[in-house]
Amino acid sequence: MGKTLLIIGVHVEELRFGERVAEGAKELGIDVLRIEHGLSNDRFLYGNLFYHDTFLRELYLQTHMQIRGNYSLAIDLHTGFNQAGCCADVFCKETCILDRLYCVLQNRLIHGSLLSEKVRLLKIVKNMAARPKVADLSYLSCKTFIPKIVWEGRHYHYVGLEIYLPRPGEGSREDWLFARQLVKCIDEVRQKT
């Protein structure tokens, strides 16, 4: 059960980037779940946000059933847009995972700069109004649209990974290498857990 799963293609626009990142993940012994018919990022294509949200919830619940009992870590890969250059957000409910990842990122270089300078770590919380624990003050808090059963960490560790690309599309080789390096770092954290 101590394996890592990389999830790609939850949004159809992200699938090609995910496939490029997955090429490197397979070399690390990380399994890949490729969502063939994901959801479009354009919520307004659905005419009614209820259908969009329902489809997304069902997609994640089906994914949960494939992960549970088979993997100890799920990395959910997504993309965003940032004109300033490639960077990333990492989302997780578990402070211990974020703490370990922070330490790993402090010791990794990518293109001459620390990987930690390009990555923001965020803690998923149920209630944004709740006072954070002292151990969590190092991280920004966020909420997620993903069903709680997926991110709560009861059956496996869930890590959301949002790679911000300088241009929309499948990204460049440099972007893929950046994402692969982050996936490798997250997998190392699993190996230490």
| Averaged pLDDT, 163-175 | 92
Rounded Cα distance between 155 and 94, Å, is 13
Tokens read off for 110? 């990518």
Query: What is the DSSP code (8-state) at residue 4?
Result: E
Predicted confidence at residue 20, as pLDDT, reads: 95
Look at residue 11 and give its three-state secondary structure.
Answer: strand
pLDDT digits (tens, 9 = 90+) for 45-86: 666 778 888 889 999 999 999 999 999 999 999 999 999 889
Between the CA of residue 15 and those of 18, 32, 35, 97, what are the distances in Å?
5, 12, 8, 26
pLDDT digits (tens, 9 = 90+) for 87-146: 999 999 999 999 999 999 998 877 667 788 999 999 999 877 667 676 667 898 999 989
Confidence of residue 190 (pLDDT cuts 50, 70, 90): confident
Confidence of residue 153 (pLDDT cuts 50, 70, 90): confident
Predicted confidence at residue 193, as pLDDT, reads: 67
Predicted confidence at residue 135, as pLDDT, reads: 66
DSSP-assigned beta bridge partners for residue 7: 33, 76
| Averaged pLDDT, 31-45 | 85
Element at 65 (helix H, strand E): helix 49-67
Q: What is the CATH number of domain 4-192?
A: 3.40.630
Q: Which residues contact 9 (CB under 8 A, 6 or more apart)?
A: 15, 18, 34, 35, 36, 38
Listed by start position, the domains of the chain span: 4-192
Confidence of residue 163 (pLDDT cuts 50, 70, 90): very high
Predicted confidence at residue 46, as pLDDT, reads: 62
- Residue, of 130 and 172, whose pLDDT is higher: 172
- The bridge status of strand 119-124 relative to strand 140-142 is parallel
Predicted confidence at residue 115, as pLDDT, reads: 83
| Averaged pLDDT, 156-179 | 94
Predicted confidence at residue 94, as pLDDT, reads: 94
Mean pLDDT check: name the lowest of 4-8, 19-23, 130-134: 130-134
Is residue 52 within 8 Å of residue 38, measured between CB atoms?
A: no
Predicted confidence at residue 47, as pLDDT, reads: 67
